[in-house]
Amino acid sequence: MSSDISPLAPKTYAALPPIRGARIETAAAGIKYADRTDVMLMVFDRPAAVAGVFTTSKCPSAPVDFCRENLGGGQARALVVNSGNANAFTGQKGRASTAMTASAAAEAVGCSEAEVFLASTGVIGEPLDASKFASVLGQMAVSASGDRWLDAARAIMTTDTYPKVATRTARIDGVTVTLNGMAKGAGMIAPDMATMLSFIVTDADIEAAALQAMLSRHVGSTFNAVTVDSDTSTSDTLLVFATGAASELGAGAISAAGDPRARGFSKALADLMEDLAIQIVRDGEGARKQVEILVTGAGSAKAAGRIARSIANSPLVKTAIAGEDANWGRVVMAVGKAGEKAERDKLAIWFGDIRVAVDGERDPDYSEAAASEVMKRDEITIRVDLGIGRGKARVFTCDLTKAYVEINGDYRS
């Protein structure tokens, strides 16, 4: 966890209300960090529906494997998250650690291990001492309360400089339901089916299959549309839980994502996911600028997405942004190397609302001074139109500064 808060950090944090049916507690188990919390326990007093998406890394962490096995059951009673150690690339010791943690959580909450979900974040390759969980989870389950969201977001931070939380509401059958979310992540961010760690809870009564369908539908335009450094984590985990407590107030159960009564909820879920995803970009390691890459006129949406990521992940583009240099030639380079159809003489590029290139060359009205003013902003949009189709995509990223190198050069020190 960095001591220097990102200049893009929010001035205030959202006030997250308690979610009926969910309680939270944090503790300092001494996994890696001194004098800070590093374990979060979320308890669902009655079985909650659960949906999830995970990293596509071929070297996933032990907790990711564990969650995938339990997700098919569709029910959750406990979530245990630790920071400081990813429990990834830890072999049989990693599997033993998840088993011990799940056993301790199940005993603390009074449920089966199949209803426990786990997530770990931190250093890869170091065994995780699960005995540290067994000594704290029992008391945490007793003292857990509904108003600990910000504390929980702090407990799961690693190189993050600020906790990431968000809340939304929706209406189902005339009843207001709440959605709360937290996330962590600042580096090793190039999600594919999730992002670092994010957990969302609602009191809506939504069955697991419907929840999964909505989550999967929205992840592409939210968590999968952000990149800090092009590196996909071994531990990416995004879980959504629905306690169903709003049913006691008259909100009927949602069993299908296509249920018209679920439209407002689905929209609120997408909005919440985008909020958290962008907060991760704004806390990118060493970041000083938030950047939106908008690609239009591509041969397909998939092609637009690949081109947008090529631009967003280019170290040359990102360092130019850090240096406030309106170097649109680097954008041309990133478009050309993406491997998707592009016609040089139809290409147009904008920095903010300033068109810098058109018809395959510098805009005849190009103004270096005007473009440079755009680059001084904290939030910058780079738009590229390929002029060959209707495909479009949007990706959020950040600049690449010297601080990124310093943070990662010293990460294990």
- DSSP code string of 212-249: HHHHHHHHTTTGGGB-SSSPPPS--EEEEEE--GGGGG
Q: Tell whether 195 is in a known binding site.
A: yes
Closest Cα to residue 248, out of 14, 15, 412, 20?
20
Q: Tell whether 302 is in a known binding site.
A: no
Q: Tell whether 232 is in a known binding site.
A: no
The Cβ of residue 102 has, within 10 Å, a number of other Cβ atoms equal to 24
One of 195, 222, 232, 401 is an active-site residue; which one?
195
Closest Cα to residue 311, out of 221, 187, 394?
394
Quick check: 304 and 293 in contact, CB under 8 A? Answer: no
296 is catalytic: no
Place of tokens 């300033």: 354
3-state secondary structure of 266: helix
CA end-to-end distance (rounded Å), the chain = 13
The Cβ of residue 167 has, within 10 Å, a number of other Cβ atoms equal to 18
Q: Tell whether 340 is in a known binding site.
A: no
Q: Which two tokens stand for residue 289?
A: 């600028």
Dihedral sign of CA atoms 79, 85, 86, 90 in order: negative
CA distance 266 to 277: 16
Q: Tell whether 184 is in a known binding site.
A: yes
Annotated binding site: 158, 184, 195, 285, 408, 413
Q: Which residues are annotated as a binding site for substrate?
A: 158, 184, 195, 285, 408, 413
Which residues are known catalytic residues?
195
